[in-house]
Chains A and B, each alone.
Chain A
Amino acid sequence: MRTSLFIGIILLAGCSAGIIHGLVNLVLVEPYLDKAIGIENQHMFASGEAKDNPQFWAEYYSYRAWQKGGQLLSGAILGMSIGSLYGIVFGYSRNILPGNSFAKKALALAAIMWITLYLIPFAKYPANPPTVGDPATIVLRETLYVAFIAISGFGALGFYQIYKRLKSRKMVAFIGYAGLMGAAFALMPQNPDVITTSMDLVNGFRAVSIVGVSAFWLSLGLILGVLWQKLQPDKVKQSKFQ
């Protein structure tokens, strides 16, 4: 394996997919964020925490510009980060993934990781817009979210090992993973924060959030697959003397 090429194509794929994620968010997610933050502002005016005056709005538009611009930069950072994990897993599993080309194998792995690390955790702890979430519970919510992703990810890895060792009845491994996640769903606490805002806003936000993250995983699989197919970082030229 050519180390620098291996790292380079993983980071390039992750960065590109992360920027695509940021662009999708700018188009689809931002209107929901603006609406949710608008509701937060109204609550602050009503409670006297902030005053509805030109100084407030000048500061508001300044930090909102910073936050919106951050979609692309943080998309690139998150993309390289998640892409690094994906690249490590792809490096180890590429010869056993389904598909007759690296492009198809990369897409297959992206689909597996999208389901186990995003979609299943999302079903238990879905994304929420601003206005939902008590700052006092942030550490608990972060801990629950990370723990659930870890259970799902390591559970998938563990049951894959069982799947490999089973000579027949391989479905047992899938049933085992489903059982583990079912138990995690039932036993792990709910998000403690009560939703007091419109469910139309929350559900609309969650739908576009899924579209954005799905676009990321699809892009990551496509880009890494094409780069791997073209550049083949695992092929090493060696001189042989006869």
Chain B
Amino acid sequence: MSLSKEITISKSSVPKVALLVLATIFAFGVFEVGFDQGQLFSIAFGDQAYADMYIHELTHDMRHAAGFPCH
């Protein structure tokens, strides 16, 4: 006769999927808030995005406050 017993173990390694997801969020978020000058929206709107700079304006105050060079 076999008995089933539930035990809790601690796994120390960081899953590769989590590493990939978090590294992507890190790179994308820092670029958008800290450095985007129209690049993201230029994918959809072309050169006009560099003139409008919607993301730059949206993140403008946080960009200055967090210490990123802004303009």
Contact = CB atoms under 8 A, between A and B. Distances in A.
Nearest to A73: B58
B39 to A, nearest CB: 13
Nearest to B21: A7
A25 B6 CA distance: 48
| Number of chain A interface residues as a range | 35 or more
Interface string A214-242: 00000000000000000000111111111
A92 B23 CA distance: 14
A91 interface: yes
B61 A30 contact: yes
A3 interface: yes
Interface of A is mostly: helix
Interface string A146-177: 00000000000000000000000000000000
B13 A209 contact: no
A71 B62 contact: yes
Nearest to B25: A84
B22 A1 contact: no
A67 B4 contact: no
Contact of A77 (B13, B33, B61): B33
B62 A66 contact: no
A1 B67 contact: no
B35 A70 contact: no
A41 interface: no
Contact of A6 (B9, B14, B57, B70): B14
A120 to B, nearest CB: 12
Given A67-B57, A88-B19, A133 B62 contact: no
Interface stretch (A44-52, A135-143, A180-188): A135-143
Interface in B33-52: 33-35, 37
Contacts of B68: 127, 142, 145
Interface of A: 1, 3, 6-7, 10-11, 21-22, 25, 29-30, 33, 63, 66-68, 70-71, 73-75, 77-78, 80-82, 84-85, 87-88, 91-92, 95, 118, 121-122, 125-130, 133, 135, 138, 141-142, 145, 205, 208-209, 212-213, 234-242
25 contacts: A3-B18, A21-B62, A25-B62, A33-B61, A67-B60, A70-B62, A71-B61, A74-B59, A74-B61, A81-B29, A84-B25, A88-B14, A88-B23, A91-B18, A121-B67, A125-B69, A127-B67, A130-B70, A142-B69, A209-B66, A209-B67, A234-B12, A238-B6, A240-B7, A241-B5
Closest 3 CB pairs of A and B: A81-B29, A141-B69, A84-B22
Interface of B: 2-15, 17-19, 21-23, 25-30, 32-35, 37, 57-71
